[in-house]
Amino acid sequence: MARGITQDQVNAAADAILATGENPTVEKVRTALGTGSPNTVTRMLEVWRTALGQRLQQAQALPELPSAVGQAMREVWRLATESAHATALTRLSDERAALEDDRRHLADERTRWTAALDDAAAVVTQAQTKQQLAEHACATLDGQLQDSHALRADIVQQRDRLQGRCDELMAELARLQAEYSRREAGVAEERIRRDAHVQAVEDRAHREVDHARQESRALQQQVSALQQEHDRTLATEIQQREHLQQMLRELEQRAALHEGRAAALEVALAVKKAQSARGAKAPAAKPRSTRAQSAEAAGRTRKSSSLSNRSPARGRKTSRPRNGGT
Q: Where residue 210 falls among pLDDT bands split at 50, 70, 90?
A: confident
Residue with more model confidence, 105 or 179: 179
pLDDT tens, position by position, 215-235: 888 888 887 887 888 777 777
- Cα–Cα distance for residue pair 62/70, rounded to 1 Å: 9
pLDDT greater at residue 20 or residue 68 = 20
**Res. 237 pLDDT band, cuts 50 70 90:** confident
Question: What's the length of the chain?
Answer: 326
The answer to whether the beta carbons of residues 29 and 13 sit under 8 Å apart is yes
pLDDT at 319 over 50: no
Residue 308: closest CA among 235, 227, 229: 227
Tell whether the model's pLDDT for residue 283 goes beyond 80. no
Q: What is the largest CA-CA distance in the chain?
A: 215
Rounded to whole angstroms, the Cα distance separating 114 from 106 reads: 11
Instruction: Assign 61 a pLDDT band (cuts: 50, 70, 90).
Output: low
Q: pLDDT confidence of 208, banded at 50, 70, 90?
A: confident
Higher pLDDT, 15 or 292: 15
* pLDDT for 169 beyond 80: yes
Distance CA 19, CA 44 (A): 18
Banded model confidence at residue 9, pLDDT cuts 50, 70, 90: very high
Cα first-last separation, the chain: 162
The pLDDT, as a whole number, for residue 66 is: 67
